[in-house]
Amino acid sequence: MKHSAILSLSLFFQLCLPVAASGDVTADSIPEVQTLGEVIVNAQRKYVKSTSRGIKITMAGNPLSEIGSAVDAIKQMPLIDDASGEISVIGKGNPIIYINGRRMQNRDELSMLTSQELASVEIITNPPARYGSEVTAVILIRTKDRLAGMFGGVQANVSASEAMSENLAVNGGWTLESGITVFADVKADESRFKQKRFYNEQLSAGDIEYFSDTYAHVKNRTRSFVLDGGMSYEHGNNSFGLKYTFSRQPSGRFFSDADTRTDMLIPENISSETQLSSRDYRHYINLYGDFELPYKLHLRIDGDYVNGSSVSTSITNETEAERMIANRNRTYSRIAAGKVELTKTISGLEVSAGADFTNTVSKQRFMSETNHDDGGVLHPATDDVRQNLFSVFASVDYNVTSKWKIYGGVRYEAVDINYDRNHVHNPELSRNYRNLLPNIGVTFMDAVTASLYYRQNIYRPSYTTLDRNYSYVTPTLWEAGNPELRAVLIHDLGLNISYRKFIFQASASRALHKIGLIYHHNATIASNVCTFANLPAYNYLQFVAVQSLDVKFWHPTLQGILYLQDLKYGEPQRSYTTPLYRLSLRNRFDLPYKIQAYLSFNLFGSGNVEVQYCRPTWQAALTLSKSIDNWTFTLAANDIFNSWRQKYITDTDDVCFTKNVKGASSYISFSVRYRFKTTPKSYKGKTVRADEIERL
């Protein structure tokens, strides 16, 4: 059931993006004692340092380096939120992550690293132009110097909730004294979950109110694996390399057993069963070159080639109505991209300039059928989208004095889109965009660090949201794509202030063409329809505060965010202006025998995000970690009080839709990691346009 996946992820992402959370780190220091003759000097070692674009955490001597897992270490750092299960930057959403200059392609690359391997972690909340037009946050990870010889590791994890899930990852390689490194990784995963879901639809048709209540039990089982390998060569400041990654989901099965009670249809009570199967694959080739040129110029070249395909088939049978609905979607996608960048540093001035080009092809095939009248919406169709994207960018960082720094940059993007519907060129959907995206700022660094900046970001809709196929959700609700979606443009004015262990961030933003999930009634098919639409221009404010403390063996961090917007939308027009807040308390405890314990509490407040209204909920999580030589053992319990609920209300046009989801959040997991030689591979390839790959 395509709707369930997209709706759950979309609403959860929208909740987590503007609201924030966690991060428990000894933000500044631990005592150090140095003996000078008969004089004892107590000093404070700072591990967290403010930068002009965020913060940088040094790991040498940092207690976080003893956690065992690099993922767990980063989750405890300031400005990091992991309430969704993934690493997110508070108030900025999901970051792109670089490991030794190479963009991370899947989360297992990070999970295979131990905390002892980390040299530093930099969290950037105002990225420069080189990172792309959609990027709002970046995490730069540097590991310790590599050693020659064989390296590798194994990681195994098992989790138990309503269903069991397991995964196994193995990596290894060899670094020669000559600078050549060869490496390979493989990961297999089998994940399962069960949930209870409730959908309520209220339809206002003049003076008459209609309703539809659906109670569903769902379960899912997915198998996937990833295989990659490559080589790199380093000589002095010059290096190049090649990497190939193959990922495949050979089996994905989703089953829903639902009962619906409604006064919109006859019969009024309908039981239904939905079975969804899916499979996909992707090939990814990345190559890079990093060279030092005369006159101290630095040249960087990157290239990507991606192609893949996915197939999904869903069959729904309604017992009482004797209705059958079948959908089959097949997607093929391809990306070819290249990027070149030159950098020059003179004293306190760093200048970089470059260009990138991306050619994208997305082909989607839909086949739908039913044994009942469908109002003419279920029929075979094809959507072919071809896009050329060309960008040039430049940025400047200048240290005016030891305390003042100014920086700026600009990115110009030219996008040409050709849209074919049923193999016929569609001029209305074939568009050309030209965007000039500036990024400027000034930073004062002393006892207090303060930065003021202005930036623009652009977000393009994913290709799956551009399809126009109808998918079944409930007997009275369908989901459809919207090929008329426009790109989103955000103007952002931000202020960052930090003092010792306190961080404050504020931003005022204006959103143009923001994409929101809406509901309306379609009289032709006598059902409600869920789709995406560009919202009217509106403003929003965000305030983020982080305070870390150290009280002997207890290291708490309190984080909070307040989000306000002035959005008005729909017919009849409604206001979506209820403030949304979120609080988190992270606690790290230094236990005997070097056991690390983490106890976190996350409170999600009520309020509006776009046109959704989020109801309050909370959860608590506990993690115990112990490292022994090259072994790391982690025991984690998530949502330990089984209190987490996904509760959303969307009231747009003539339809009010309520969704409540319970399950797949409370679990216990046990992980074992082993690393020998603890030497990360040195491959430094970067993705040219990560935002374009993610749109697939």
**Residue 676: per-residue pLDDT:** 78
* Sequence-distant (≥ 6) Cβ neighbours of residue 440 within 8 angstroms: 407, 408, 409, 453, 454, 455
Q: Domains of the chain, with CATH numbers?
A: 2-694 (2.40.170.20)
482-537 pLDDT, tens digit each: 999 999 999 999 999 999 889 999 999 999 999 999 999 988 888 899 999 999 99
**Residue 18: per-residue pLDDT:** 33
Residue with the bigger pLDDT between 149 and 201: it is 201
Q: Which two tokens stand for residue 112?
A: 């295979």
5: DSSP letter: H
Chain position carrying tokens 């262990």:
501
Q: How far apart are CA 333 and CA 282, in angstroms?
A: 9
What confidence category does residue 269 fall into, taking pLDDT thresholds of 50, 70 and 90? very high
Residue with the bigger pLDDT between 532 and 682: it is 532
- Per residue in 305-320, is it b (16+ CB within 10 Å) or e — as a string? ebbbebebebebebee
3-class DSSP state of 67: coil
What confidence category does residue 135 fall into, taking pLDDT thresholds of 50, 70 and 90? confident
**Residue 615: per-residue pLDDT:** 94
What confidence category does residue 72 fall into, taking pLDDT thresholds of 50, 70 and 90? confident
**Residue 37: per-residue pLDDT:** 36
**Residue 696: per-residue pLDDT:** 67
Q: What is the mean pLDDT of residues 622-636?
A: 86
- Per residue in 592-623, is it b (16+ CB within 10 Å) or e — as a string? eeeebebbbbbbbbebbbbbbbbeebbbbbeb
**Residue 106: per-residue pLDDT:** 64
Closest CA to 261 of 199, 314, 313, 190: 199
**Residue 593: per-residue pLDDT:** 84
Q: Is the pLDDT of residue 402 over 50?
A: yes
Q: Are 587 and 554 in contact (CB under 8 A)?
A: yes
3-class DSSP state of 393: strand
Q: How far apart are CA 407 and CA 453, in angstroms?
A: 9
Q: What is the mean pLDDT of residues 622-640?
A: 88
CA within 13 Å, CB half, 161: 24
Radius of gyration of the chain (CA): 26
Q: Is the pLDDT of residue 553 over 90?
A: no
**Residue 449: per-residue pLDDT:** 92
Region of poorest pLDDT, from 31-40, 218-227, 607-616, 660-669: 31-40
161-183 pLDDT, tens digit each: 889 999 998 988 888 888 898 99
388-401 pLDDT, tens digit each: 999 999 999 999 99
Residue with the bigger pLDDT between 242 and 84: it is 242
**Residue 36: per-residue pLDDT:** 33
Percent of all residues in the chain with a pLDDT value above 70, rounded to a whole number: 89
Q: What is the mean pLDDT of residues 108-127?
A: 82
What confidence category does residue 312 fall into, taking pLDDT thresholds of 50, 70 and 90? very high
Q: What is the mean pLDDT of residues 411-418?
A: 94
Region of poorest pLDDT, from 61-65, 295-299, 309-313: 61-65
Q: What is the mean pLDDT of residues 36-44?
A: 35
Q: Is the pLDDT of residue 453 over 70?
A: yes
**Residue 222: per-residue pLDDT:** 95
Q: Is the pLDDT of residue 342 over 60?
A: yes
Q: How far apart are CA 341 and CA 352, in angstroms?
A: 7
**Residue 132: per-residue pLDDT:** 78
Q: Is the pLDDT of residue 108 over 70?
A: no
Mean pLDDT, the chain, whole residue set: 86
Residue 296 CB neighbour total at 10 angstroms? 10
> Structure pTM?
0.83
**Residue 242: per-residue pLDDT:** 92
Q: What is the mean pLDDT of residues 202-230?
A: 91
6-30 pLDDT, tens digit each: 333 333 333 333 333 333 333 333 2
Q: What is the mean pLDDT of residues 591-607?
A: 90
Residue 657 CB neighbour total at 10 angstroms? 23
Q: Is the pLDDT of residue 410 over 70?
A: yes
Q: What is the mean pLDDT of residues 358-362?
A: 95
3-class DSSP state of 108: helix
